Amino acid sequence: MKVGLVGNQNSGKTTLFNCLTGMNAKIGNWPGVTIEKKVGTIKGTKHEITDLPGIYSLSPYSAEEEVSRNFVFNENPDVIINIVDATCLERSLFLTTQLLESNCKVIVALNMADKLEEKGLSIDEKKMEEMLGAKVIKISALKEIGIEELIKEINKPLKSKQNKVIPQYLSKDYELEKYEEIVNQKYSFISKVVENCIKKKIKPEAISDKLDKILLNRWLAFPIFIIIMFLIYYLSVGIVGSFTVDLVGDSIGSFGEYIGKLMQNLGASEWVNSLVVDGIIAGVGAVLGFVPQLIILFTCISLLETTGYMSRISLLLDKIFRKIGLSGKSLIPFIVGSGCSVPGIMGTRIIENEDERKMTTILTPFIPCSAKLPIIALFAGYFFPNSSGIASSSLYFFAIVVIIISALIMKKFVFKHTSNTYISELPEYKLPSAKYILKDVFDKVMAFIKRAGTTILLCSIIVWFLLSFSFKMEYGVDIEESILAGIGTKISWAFKPILGENSWEATVSALQGLVAKEQVVSSMAVINGLAEDASQGSQIFASERSIWFLHSIISICFYGI
């Protein structure tokens, strides 16, 4: 059986999807987290369930609407679960009235039912069933209440399938005046439903409003925002960074020594020993040393997303971003992009205006992502040994400057438009679910480690090979005669303008930065480890500071492309 999950943005679809399937899809407390459909199987059944992007209507005007509309009308689903935010019934039921016209079995799942009490509301679902003509079930996806009843209802046998017809008013060229009339009619029906089914008690001032009085206060909002962002990057790049990277780096160093001795005792040849210790352990280890920092960074971003503060940031900065041809919504991809550019770019779909979306897509990779973090920390530690934390976090502000300048250039020469609209729901603040955040951070860190185990492992071996052998395939040559030095020297002229000098070491690592940014650190560690004396190794770092800035803005790694 084919089941579709349809509902407004931020109504908890993905939470319900995870709950029904046992998967861990991405959740956030800002509108538009699900940008394409996800498919899974409902636990204990064979029903295929599709999580569709959040929409307010089945009209064909945005990419999200198109995806959901196609599913409902063309992919012939057996059951549609219409997830409805019970605390925001009126607006949610508009989509419900459209779904009911689709001739499909619709189950209305009243989500966040556990919050009704808190908001001083009570819903008569029997009455609602009667008025809508569809089964209504109260659930809480987060607390897993009512899920069994929902599955039971899905399992009920179906009447024969009917052909689905797209109502005429949902076609693209339908007159707007007539459309307005139909919407008016639907909403007056909905008002009646709400009037009959909801009892309101007097509700106290919501916590969200109290919080917003501070967080969106005219004088406090910006200082608070800057402090929060600075703390996030200072904590992950600075404090935790310098402490744990040393710790992990040392233990990986002694692990390398230990393995080296062990292999010597086992009688491994010199080059095998060097491959393992100088190539693999040094290269992969250098990158793995950054895992603790990433855990902090990913946790902070996850918190921003799930609490609802992200929507406030977007509201806060809309007026500034408008001046450079973007909207406040561009900020969400930027912040998510500081974890990894890829999900950041995917998130740009929440931006309605096409030019704004394209600009945001181009600009997101300028934000130093977590893979650049090792590079930033490495150089910061070298250039500013006493204040590397502050130096690293200020690099994010440097990135913002780069973004603003690039955006202005694009606005002037490429996308000659003015940012024309910003319509965004302001969700209430939510306490984040520890379970979800743990899982989210764990998944992202594992993905990083996996890359360390595959791409970076392979690259480390290649770099080691190119460094240890000369063009004549002799092992153990002086590093200056290695294949890599030869290649690097030959092409370093091309990098001279950006790197500031002819250094084959810097050239090679910059090239690798294109493949995967974290590889830069890895190959530097390998080069460094093989260099015969310390001065030769540190020569790599002796290039001008411009390299640092270069790496922070080298825009795209191949993963991004």
Which structure tokens are listed for 391?
């130096």
Say whether residue 315 binds another protein (CB under 8 A). Answer: yes
Say whether residue 89 binds another protein (CB under 8 A). Answer: yes
Q: From the CB of 355, what's the least distance to another protein, in Å?
A: 14
Size of the site for another protein (CB under 8 A): 41
Q: Judged by CB under 8 A, which stretch of 56-64, 160-168, 277-285, 336-344 contacts another protein?
A: 56-64
Say whether residue 184 binds another protein (CB under 8 A). Answer: yes
Given candidates 2, 37, 91, 439, which one binds another protein under the rule CB under 8 A?
A: 91
Q: Judged by CB under 8 A, which stretch of 51-59, 273-281, 430-438, 541-549 contacts another protein?
A: 51-59
| CA quadruple 435, 440, 443, 444: dihedral, nearest 10 | -150
Where helices occur in 266-387 by DSSP H, the ranges are 270-274, 282-288, 291-307, 309-323, 331-337, 341-346, 354-363, 373-383
Say whether residue 221 binds another protein (CB under 8 A). Answer: yes
What does the alpha-carbon distance between residue 126 and residue 519 come to, in Å, rounded to a whole number? 60
Q: From the CB of 214, what's the least distance to another protein, in Å?
A: 11
What does the alpha-carbon distance between residue 403 and residue 367 come to, in Å, rounded to a whole number? 8
Q: Judged by CB under 8 A, which stretch of 212-220, 298-306, 394-402, 446-454 contacts another protein?
A: 212-220
Q: From the CB of 33, what's the least distance to another protein, in Å?
A: 17
Q: Report which of 429, 440, 393, 433 is spatially closest to residue 299, judged by C-alpha positions.
A: 440
Interacting positions 149-178 with another protein (CB under 8 A): 176
Say whether residue 90 binds another protein (CB under 8 A). Answer: yes
Say whether residue 86 binds another protein (CB under 8 A). Answer: no
Q: From the CB of 198, what's the least distance to another protein, in Å?
A: 9
Say whether residue 212 binds another protein (CB under 8 A). Answer: yes
Interacting positions 446-465 with another protein (CB under 8 A): none
100 or 477: whose CB is closer to another protein?
100
201 or 472: whose CB is closer to another protein?
201
Burial of residue 114, with CB atoms counted within 10 A of its CB: 0-12 exposed, 13-18 middle, 19 or more buried:
middle
Q: Spell out the long-range contacts of 126-134 with Cβ–Cβ below 8 A and sequence spacing 24 or more.
A: 127/196, 127/197, 128/193, 128/197, 131/192, 131/193, 131/196, 131/197, 132/93, 132/96, 132/100, 132/108, 132/193, 133/100, 134/82, 134/96, 134/100, 134/106, 134/107, 134/108
What does the alpha-carbon distance between residue 484 and residue 498 come to, in Å, rounded to a whole number? 20
Q: Judged by CB under 8 A, which stretch of 89-97, 144-152, 342-350, 467-475 contacts another protein?
A: 89-97
Say whether residue 324 binds another protein (CB under 8 A). Answer: no
Say whether residue 197 binds another protein (CB under 8 A). Answer: no
Say whether residue 424 binds another protein (CB under 8 A). Answer: yes
- Residue pair 491/557 in contact by the 8 Å Cβ criterion: no
CB burial readout 18-55, b (16+ within 10 A) else e: bbbbebeebbbbbbbbbbebbebebeeeebbbbbbbbb
- For residue 137, list its beta bridge partners: 109
222 or 258: whose CB is closer to another protein?
222
Per-residue mark of binding to another protein, 337-376 (x: CB under 8 A): ---------------x------------------------
55 or 554: whose CB is closer to another protein?
55
Question: Which residues would be at the binding site for another protein (CB under 8 A)?
Answer: 56-57, 59, 61, 87-91, 94, 176, 179-180, 183-184, 187-188, 209, 212, 216-219, 221-222, 315-316, 318-320, 322, 328, 352, 420-427
